[in-house]
Amino acid sequence: MKKTLKIISTVSIILFGVLWILSKFDFLNEFNSIDIRHILVLIYLFTSLKYFKMEVKDKNAEIQDLKLKLKNKI
């Protein structure tokens, strides 16, 4: 799940960049609207937020596990 979120966020930000560059050269303007770019930014923000929430949750669980192991050793 985390890998999927990371891939989606990376693809959306790359597509945003490509569409932004194409808009500067007036190429494919009929398919390149500001609304599509805004949606891509929202997708990037949402997927990144979810990814980092899951990452923090995993790291906190690992920290708690290590603290428990350290406490049991002492």
- Residue 15 above 80 pLDDT? yes
- Residue 14 above 90 pLDDT? yes
Q: What is the pLDDT of residue 16?
A: 94
Domain ranges of the chain: 2-73
Answer yes or no: pTM beyond 0.95: no
Q: Number of C-alpha atoms within 13 angstroms, CB side, residue 8?
A: 18
Look at residues 58, 63, 62, 54 and name the one whose alpha carbon lies nearest to residue 2.
54
